[in-house]
Amino acid sequence: MSEHAAASSIEARGLTLALGGTPVLAGLDLRIGPGEFVALVGPSGCGKSTLLSVLAGLIEPDAGAVLLDDLPSGDRLGRLTLMPQTDALMPWRTVLDNVRVGSLLAGTAADEATAAARRTLARFGLSGFEDHYPHALSGGMRQRVALARTMLGGTRMWLLDEPFGALDALTRADLRGVLADTWARDRPTTLLVTHDLDEAVLLADRVLVCGARPARVVGEIPVAMRRPRSLDDLADPAFSEPRAEILATLRATGALA
């Protein structure tokens, strides 16, 4: 189960990939230390989701390598938990079964997996929906189920692709808190893709900025702000300074007017 899985470092070295003749990744390098929380921001279409697919082992790069704990990892599929940009819930399984699947695959006893899934669903405001099927949920509810499944995925390496994209502002702030608390407790190595700069600064130890396609990391902004962080801290220079720097770096990529 997640407490026992290793939170390894994740490194991309010179990742290069073309899809359908279009260069999407061009010599991309990054490193996330064990238990570190890194956010990735960048213009739409620059290759962020593609990068996560490569890191997760769903797509092999044309050149370059992914290293876990400094070792090249050709067969990493299943070692990292990817929460894709679309929720990718299994329509034929109930909410409870969607959320339990990672723990069961990781070898957790069924009773324990069920109890953990129920607890997590309750934290995400989904008590009473355990036996519903995904089609009977709203977009935001499906996204909460997908996030619950990721957290119980049985690994401590999380790749989150805009996990709060389909949520209203209040639910978003609420689940951001749940993610921050869960990360602080379990310390998974985490890479979060987001378009929300406030979210990147509120959650991450470091924010990477990706340039226009083909993707490369063109900036890295550390966030030294102490935790726990909240929306009440927006006026704090420890929040506003890195945020301004991210914005300036994005502008320099030509991604923003």
Q: Does 73 bind ligand ATP (CB under 6 A)?
A: no
Radius of gyration of the chain from its Cα atoms, rounded to whole angstroms: 18
Distance of CA 182 to the CA centre of its chain: 13
Only segment of 40-48, 114-122, 151-159, 167-175 that touches ligand ATP (CB under 6 A): 40-48
Q: Does 150 bind Mg ion (CB under 5 A)?
A: no
Q: Does 73 bind Mg ion (CB under 5 A)?
A: no
Distance of CA 176 to the CA centre of its chain: 12
d(CA 74, CA 57): 8
Q: Does 76 bind ligand ATP (CB under 6 A)?
A: no
d(CA 22, CA 35): 34
- Shorter beta-carbon distance to ligand ATP: residue 22 or 230: 22
Q: Does 213 bind ligand ATP (CB under 6 A)?
A: yes
Q: Does 9 bind Mg ion (CB under 5 A)?
A: no
DSSP of 82-109: EE-SS----TTS-HHHHHHHHHHHTT--
Q: Does 134 bind ligand ATP (CB under 6 A)?
A: no
Q: What are the backbone dihedrals phi and psi of residue 104, each rounded to the nearest 5 degrees, phi first? A: -65, -45
Residue from 2, 9, 28, 48 that binds ligand ATP (CB under 6 A)? 48
35 to 54: interface string for Mg ion, x by CB under 5 A: -------------xx-----
Site for ligand ATP in 171-190 (CB under 6 A): none
Q: What are the backbone dihedrals phi and psi of residue 229, each rounded to the nearest 5 degrees, phi first? A: -110, 150
Write out the residues near Mg ion by the rule CB under 5 A: 48-49, 85
